[in-house]
Amino acid sequence: MEFKNVTVRHKANVYHEGKVTSRTVITPEGEMKTLGVMLPGTYRFSTEAPERVDVTQGHCRVKLAGEQQWSPYQAGQSFHVPGNSHFEIEVDDLLDYVCHFG
């Protein structure tokens, strides 16, 4: 995956005491994405807009709002989160991801 001619926001997005970090990029078409890293742990995130999360390295388990089961994802797979919702994610090793908004 490669993004060309993007604007990168210099300030990092830092969550969960620094265990999850990302950088925001904006494409020439105005699409906002974040490129991030998660260290091992279990995290909960809330969404405003719908999101697609691409796992680019590593693996994780995800439980979307209202679901009882955890679903596994690995590099090359994606999961979708509705807007105005939340999800939980469990990471055992380093996880790289790209989040697409909207």
Using alpha carbons, list the distances in angstroms from residue 47 to 1, 2, 8. 24, 25, 21
Termini Cα distance of the chain = 19
pLDDT digits (tens, 9 = 90+) for 24-67: 999 999 999 999 999 999 999 999 999 999 999 999 999 999 99
Give residue limits of the domains in the chain: 7-101
Using CA atoms, how far apart are residues 67 and 83, in angstroms rounded to an integer? 16
Residue partners of 36: CB distance under 8 A and separation at least 6: 13, 20, 21, 22, 23, 96, 97, 98, 99
Q: Does domain 7-101 have CATH number 3.40.50.300?
A: no
Q: pLDDT value at position 36? A: 97
Write down the number of H helices and E strands in the chain: 0, 11
- pTM of the shown model: 0.94
Structure confidence at residue 22 (pLDDT): 98
Mean pLDDT taken over the chain: 96
For residue 1, is pLDDT > 90? no
